[in-house]
Amino acid sequence: METPKIKTRMKRPAMGFLAGLTAALCQPLPATAQNSTSEKAYADLAALPAAERSKRLEDGARAEGKLVMIHTMRGNLATDHVALFRKRYPFLKIELEGDIGSQDATERLYTEETAGRHLTDVINVALPDLTALRNKDMLARFVSPAAASILPPYQGFLDSQGRWTPWYWSEHGISYNSSLVPKDKAPRGWDDLCNPFFKGSVSFDPAEDRYLAGLYAMFGEQGTQRLLKCIGENDPIIQRGHAQRMELMLAGDHMVQGDNYLYQGVIIQRKNPSAPYAIATSAPAFGFAGVAAINKNAQHPYAAALWADWSLTQESQAYVAHLLRGPVALKHPFFPDSMKLVTYVDAPAGVMDRLMGYWNTYVAKRH
Amino acid sequence: MIEVAGLRKSFAGSGQAVAAVAGIDFAIKAGEMVTLLGPSGCGKTTTLRCLAGLEHPDDGRIVIGGQTMADAAAGTFVPPQRRNLGMVFQSYAIWPHMSVLENVAYALEGRGIRKAERAKRAMEALALVQLSALAERPAPWLSGGQQQRVAIAHAMVGRPQALLFDEPLSNLDAKLRIEMRNELRRIQRETGLTAIYVTHDQAEALAISDEIIVMKDGRIVERGRPVDIYRRPRHVFTAEFLGSTNLVAGTVAGVDAGRLAVTTALGRILGIDPTGTLAKGAKVMVSIRPEDLSTQTSAADTINRFEGRMIFAAFAGATVEAELHCGETRIACLLDRDADLTPGRTATLWAKPEACLVLPAE
Amino acid sequence: MQTAAARRFGWKEAALALLVAVLAYQVVVPFAMIIWTSLKQARPGEEDFLSLSFTLANYARAYGGAAFWRISGNTLSFALAATLIAFVIGAFMAFVLARTNTPLAGFIGAMLIGRIVIPGILIAISWILVASPNIGLINQMTLRLAGLRNPVNIYSFWGMVFVQALELVPLTYLLLGAAFKAMDPRLEEASAMTGAGNWRTLRRISLPLALPAVAAALLLLFLTTIETFEVPLLMGTRAGIRVYTTEIFYDTSRTPIDWGLSSTYAMALLAVAIVLLFVYFRLIGHGERYQTITGKDFRPRRIDLGPWRYLTCALALILVFLITGVPFLMMLYASLLPFYQVPSAAAFTSMSFDNYLTLFHNSKTVAPMINSTILGPAVATTVVLIVALISYFVQKTRLRGRRLLDFLGFAPIAIPSVVLGATFFWFYLIVPLPIIGTLTIIGLAYLTKYMPVALRFVSASMMQIHAELDEAAQVAGVSWGRNFFKIMLPLLKPGLLAAWFWVMVHAYRELTIALMLARSQNRTAAVVIFDLWEEGSFLLLGAFAVLMFMVLTALCAVAHSISARFGVQEQPA
């Protein structure tokens, strides 16, 4: 249920907007509550035995009747996923708020909460994008018992405090156009992005935190700085849009993807087996988690917890695998066993700013 | 019917305000057609626009049909649509997206008149201007004269308490202009409407008006019936602006039995004083209209004889337009068509004392 | 008898009061928020945000470095080049299609406007597929036919200018076409009588008479290019050419977004807009000179070009092929492919309607299409009425401070979409009006966003209407409101219609704001496009755009046939 405070506020527009504005501006806006109702509920839940816990959770969600959520996947991918959840819990009215990217989702929750409006219960986002919300302590602590089903390689995605529940992962790896790149020239490691043979023919998206944090996880700060510097000297292609860059590369526009999800090419290759797509399997990939993070001031805490639990179920995980994304409780649908995977959560805040600075200086040449 | 008192209106010019109307008063009786006449910039159009309600007066009162339409001191201002006036604009202001009938009937909209009745009244107005046959035509497809008629019908259809004309004929060619002004006069007489007519064309003003108000620099110079204002102007400006005239500067030498003797460069001129204010020694201008000069003198006419040399003559059908040099002074005259036109010839001109108007120098 | 005070408050005063209220709410408030934010390091909602301590730190960061001035140079030269090229082509198209007897004028005009319907992302992608190195169609052909390797490169300054200029031609055409249509041919005939040739008449009479529209077009083209995003993002980044919008994009792509900095960037745009608007006002001076629609036998008529009309037709066809044909055909081609391939026999045999079937299968695309179909016409109609009122009060009354109305209506052109969207989001987060997540909030943001362009369209048209046409209506004894709807609006038709099309189509395809304000119930068609682009591929996107093209073309055709019944009729030759 909505708290009474919200209800009275919503009924006030008749007073005229100026009066409302003054009232709203004069109201102190607590950025975060110290002991939110959701966290209290989660602490109580954690103390219960399994059967009773799941009953309490479902009853609570049923009483709330609603879940307001941002899903990080786009369009049908998200709605089909949510449809499975909805089928399981038909009493919940689920508002899927916008198909926005994970950075936009965290930004939106951040803005709403800063303004004192508790509109969104759960956001499903890329873990490295959560930094700002973690710093402001905007996330509810909730430990899902389902986390036990997460396979060992992905246990590193978990948070000791339970501020998020990882339920899929994405990988950045090197891929190339096998008809443009002869076998003997195929890239084998990240240093090959600096190979003069690929000069002007390696493409990247404009920098994202999750990509830089991944490089940091593999090479540390100095290693990343060195790599970005030589990438910058090799005349990189910077173009927005992962899917589109993959299509362009496979159409023969350039040779190598220096920053892309491996699944992008696999999706195309499943549709068109003759697509000249190859993964550089000898280069390590780095993987970050997609997580469900619950708003500390969620208005529907039980429904939110229900989603976090459900995201790790067999049903949900199978759907993730079906999309060629990485499930955390199942085997990956295509990731080669031989390929090395470096998992990470994020990089320290100060480091992140410096990494972005290196990118801007060496690769984007903004300064 | 119409009263204007102390009317003032300025516009923000470049830097300072320019007074377009600098305090005028006049009244017009019901059923009269009065012309505001003057050169461009004299304030006549601004006055008319104040009457119509298109301008807010800075000062003064306007009363039309007993209702105060504008009173700057009291803060009263009736917007144009509530003044019940008809106005004919210089550009005709025909709405190009409507048919002739729609243009005329439009003024009846929003008055609770049924559509059929509106069409009927519009057709009556069109009949009055003899345009019934073209009612369904898109308005822009008419000729200039026809558009002028539409504009008149449009102004009249609402049965206004007065009609305002803002130089309505200035866009027509000469022949059409004469035809239309007679037409206007006919319609005005037939309907008996009070009308104010603004023009800078003195011939038009003389032909069409019951009375003429002459304006200059935002003020009224004088007012009178056309024949009086032409024959007996009381100001040099009026004499000059209406028709053409010869002006000769001089000093009043003496007053005798209603006639004044004036010493001028042409010699002594005997004339009359329409203002009745001049005394001996006053600086004056003598105004003699070209048509009042004649070469056919008789021995009895011993005064007001001016000898000069023919400089220029142009045959103009009924008359001859000629110019003579009398000493340093050029005199224009309209002569009989039988006059001898040889350039260089010496001729003697003569004018009746009644035709020589002695006016205060300005 | 009513009191004088009561008399003074009629329809006209009510309309003016409403207008001022709308402008204050829709323009002054957002601007106040943006300026305030630019002087703050705290974000809206944070405690320090409301305190009265200000800082110029954002200004120092935004404008302090040499990078800013380099980016300014790029932005301005890009905008200037695109503006000039778009203007020349657009003026040619407008004159030929609106004022001459060139064959196929109707078809070519419709195709030109059709271009506006294609989403910006797709246009950029189409040209990438046509003229990028290696895979571009042109480079493929030159390689195969002449062995020439990559003679053209779309990822370059001139590539960007080319695509952007073509993008702007329909806007130029709409603006100037409306003005040319309202031109009194007798003024041109008078010039022709003096023995001046057609070219000279065009240069000395027609263009100067259309000065308000010409100036408005140049102003809008320039500012629109500065504000444009798709071409700089998709082509400029790869070409290494950085402009204001991409800078703002990079600065707003990390959470928490630095709104202080992006608001500060908006101030630079505002400064440019103010300077240009001032120049525009100076250029136009007193609008009376341009009143070509007088109440005196105003008869729009077309010029007979004789045999030259086939040449103008051919030129116009080539241009419209580049402007609309190329993107549309690329879109159509891509939408039929399972994956993108350079055209070949294999590519053509692999064609199918699978992408369309996928779309129809996707129930999630229907509701956003309906939302946009409501939003586009509603926003367009409201905006057009508001700007008609603004131009009326600015040009046909002597109201004190009327220029301020014009300025307020135009100022939002300086607000980048991402900042505008954020401002509306914050505002309604703070102000407890329950419109978050509804179409209303997007509609309100669009109102502010599209007022400037529409205002210039309608203002140029208003300037051509002789004051006496309005005065005659006032004296006629009909209420002000009726006069406005029955006299002013029909006379303004060319400008209103052009503005309506422009706003409707752009509101339909606008992305940035829609994305920021989208929630479960108010997703628009453009958001779907973005989803398809981000996660799917441009093949599916192509299919969606082909469908959208059809819906919008139908909407435009309906609006056009409705509007044909009103306004000034052309005289049959």
Q: What is the pLDDT of residue C549?
A: 82
Question: Best residue in C129, C156, C254 to probe A by mutation, most A CBs within 10 Å?
Answer: C254
Residue A249 in this model has a pLDDT that exceeds 90: yes
Token pair listed for C47: 């405690």
Q: What is the pLDDT of residue A217?
A: 94
Does A3 lie at the interface with C, CB-CB under 8 angstroms? no
Beta-sheet pairing, A277-279 with A165-177: antiparallel
When mean pLDDT is compared across A33-47, B40-54, B137-151, C398-412, the lowest value belongs to: A33-47
Residue A17 in this model has a pLDDT that exceeds 60: no
Report the C-alpha gap between A302 and A63 in whole angstroms.
9
Q: What is the pLDDT of residue B13?
A: 62
Closest CA to B24 of B52, B80, B76, B62: B62
- Selecting from C299, C473, C490 the residue whose C-beta is nearest the C-beta of B141 gives C299
Residue A286 in this model has a pLDDT that exceeds 50: yes
- Contact (CB, 8 A) for B34 and B212: yes
Report the C-alpha gap between C547 and A253 in whole angstroms.
28
Whether B contacts C, i.e. 3 or more CB pairs less than 8 A apart, is yes
Q: What is the pLDDT of residue B44?
A: 93
Residue A22 in this model has a pLDDT that exceeds 90: no
Provide the CA C14 distance to its chain's centre, in angstroms: 30
From chain C, the residues in CB contact with A131 under 8 A are 255
Residue C374 in this model has a pLDDT that exceeds 80: yes
- Residue C390: what are its φ and ψ, rounded to 5°? -60, -50
Report the C-alpha gap between A6 and A170 in whole angstroms.
37
When mean pLDDT is compared across B17-31, B171-185, C355-369, C432-446, the lowest value belongs to: C355-369
Question: Are A98 and C436 an interchain contact pair (Cβ–Cβ within 8 Å)?
Answer: no
The arithmetic mean of pLDDT across residues C18-30, rounded, is 93
Band of the pLDDT at C1, cuts 50, 70, 90? Answer: very low
Band of the pLDDT at C347, cuts 50, 70, 90? Answer: confident
The arithmetic mean of pLDDT across residues C531-536, rounded, is 69
Percent of chain A with pLDDT over 90: 66
Does C362 lie at the interface with A, CB-CB under 8 angstroms? yes
Which residues lie across from A203 on neighbouring strands?
A237, A257
Question: Are A21 and C431 an interchain contact pair (Cβ–Cβ within 8 Å)?
Answer: yes
Residue B229 in this model has a pLDDT that exceeds 70: yes
> Between the CA of residue B149 and those of B71, B316, C100, what are the distances in Å?
34, 32, 32
Question: Are A241 and C425 an interchain contact pair (Cβ–Cβ within 8 Å)?
Answer: no
Question: Are A243 and C534 an interchain contact pair (Cβ–Cβ within 8 Å)?
Answer: yes
Does A278 lie at the interface with C, CB-CB under 8 angstroms? no
Q: What is the pLDDT of residue B5?
A: 94
Residue partners of C486: CB distance under 8 A and separation at least 6: B106, B109, C478
Band of the pLDDT at C573, cuts 50, 70, 90? Answer: very low
Closest CA to A210 of A70, A352, A71, A336: A352
- Selecting from A115, A248, A253 the residue whose C-beta is nearest the C-beta of C429 gives A115
Report the C-alpha gap between C466 and C482 in whole angstroms.
18
- Contact (CB, 8 A) for A272 and A117: no
Chain C neighbours, 3+ Cβ pairs < 8 A: A, B
The arithmetic mean of pLDDT across residues B276-304, rounded, is 83
Report the C-alpha gap between A56 and A62 in whole angstroms.
10
The arithmetic mean of pLDDT across residues C372-398, rounded, is 92
Residue A157 in this model has a pLDDT that exceeds 80: yes
Does C482 lie at the interface with B, CB-CB under 8 angstroms? yes
Whether A contacts B, i.e. 3 or more CB pairs less than 8 A apart, is no
Report the C-alpha gap between C198 and C309 in whole angstroms.
13
Q: What is the pLDDT of residue C191?
A: 61
CA atoms within 13 A on the CB side of C266: 30
Closest CA to B301 of B293, B291, B311, B309: B293
Residue A158 in this model has a pLDDT that exceeds 70: yes
- Contact (CB, 8 A) for B322 and B335: yes
Token pair listed for B307: 């000898």
Surface of A (93-152) touching C: CB under 8 A: 95-101, 103-104, 106-108, 110-112, 114-117, 119, 129, 131-133
Least Cα separation, residue C412 to chain B (angstroms): 30
Residues C106-133: tens digit of each pLDDT: 888 888 888 887 878 888 888 988 998 8
Write down the mean pLDDT value for chain B: 88
Question: Are A247 and C538 an interchain contact pair (Cβ–Cβ within 8 Å)?
Answer: yes
Report the C-alpha gap between A36 and A297 in whole angstroms.
6
Q: What is the pLDDT of residue A236?
A: 94
Which segment, A188-197, C12-21, C37-46, is predicted with the most confidence on average?
A: A188-197
From chain B, the residues in CB contact with C492 under 8 A are none
Residue partners of C164: CB distance under 8 A and separation at least 6: C78, C82, C86, C225, C228, C231
From chain A, the residues in CB contact with C334 under 8 A are none
Q: What is the pLDDT of residue C188?
A: 63
Residue A32 in this model has a pLDDT that exceeds 80: no
The arithmetic mean of pLDDT across residues C451-472, rounded, is 88
Can you say whether residue A173 is alpha, beta or left, with left for phi > 0 and alpha for psi between -120 and 50 degrees? beta
Does C254 lie at the interface with A, CB-CB under 8 angstroms? yes
- Residue A93: what are its φ and ψ, rounded to 5°? -90, 115
Interface B-C: count of C-beta contacts within 8 A:
125
When mean pLDDT is compared across A235-249, C190-204, C320-334, the lowest value belongs to: C190-204
Residues C49-75: tens digit of each pLDDT: 888 888 899 899 888 888 888 889 999
Question: Best residue in A255, A260, A366, A367 to probe C by mutation, most C CBs within 10 Å?
Answer: A366
* First vs last C-alpha separation in chain B: 33
Closest CA to A171 of A284, A338, A293, A291: A284
Residue partners of B130: CB distance under 8 A and separation at least 6: B149
The arithmetic mean of pLDDT across residues B146-173, rounded, is 89
Residue A36 in this model has a pLDDT that exceeds 70: yes
Higher per-residue pLDDT: B213 or C282: B213
Question: Best residue in A25, A32, A76, A211 to probe C by mutation, most C CBs within 10 Å?
Answer: A76
The arithmetic mean of pLDDT across residues C175-197, rounded, is 69
Does A241 lie at the interface with C, CB-CB under 8 angstroms? yes
Q: What is the pLDDT of residue A1?
A: 37
- Contact (CB, 8 A) for A91 and A302: no
Least Cα separation, residue B195 to chain C (angstroms): 15
Residues C93-107: tens digit of each pLDDT: 998 888 888 888 888
Q: What is the pLDDT of residue C100?
A: 85
Residue A116 in this model has a pLDDT that exceeds 90: no
> Between the CA of residue B103 and those of C65, C198, C518, C533, what are the distances in Å?
64, 35, 49, 54
Q: What is the pLDDT of residue C186?
A: 64
Query: Alpha helix (H) ranges present in chain A?
Result: 4-10, 17-26, 37-46, 50-64, 75-88, 102-114, 131-135, 209-233, 242-250, 262-271, 301-310, 314-322, 349-358
Strand ranges inside B143-290, DSSP E: 162-166, 194-199, 211-216, 219-224, 246-256, 259-264, 267-272, 283-288
Residues C256-279: tens digit of each pLDDT: 788 888 888 888 888 888 888 888
Question: Tokens 């003074």 sit at which residue?
Answer: C8
The arithmetic mean of pLDDT across residues C145-163, rounded, is 91
When mean pLDDT is compared across A200-214, A284-298, C34-48, the lowest value belongs to: C34-48
From chain B, the residues in CB contact with C468 under 8 A are 89-91, 93
Report the C-alpha gap between A113 and A14 in whole angstroms.
24
- Contact (CB, 8 A) for B93 and B107: no
The arithmetic mean of pLDDT across residues A178-201, rounded, is 95
Write down the mean pLDDT value for chain C: 83
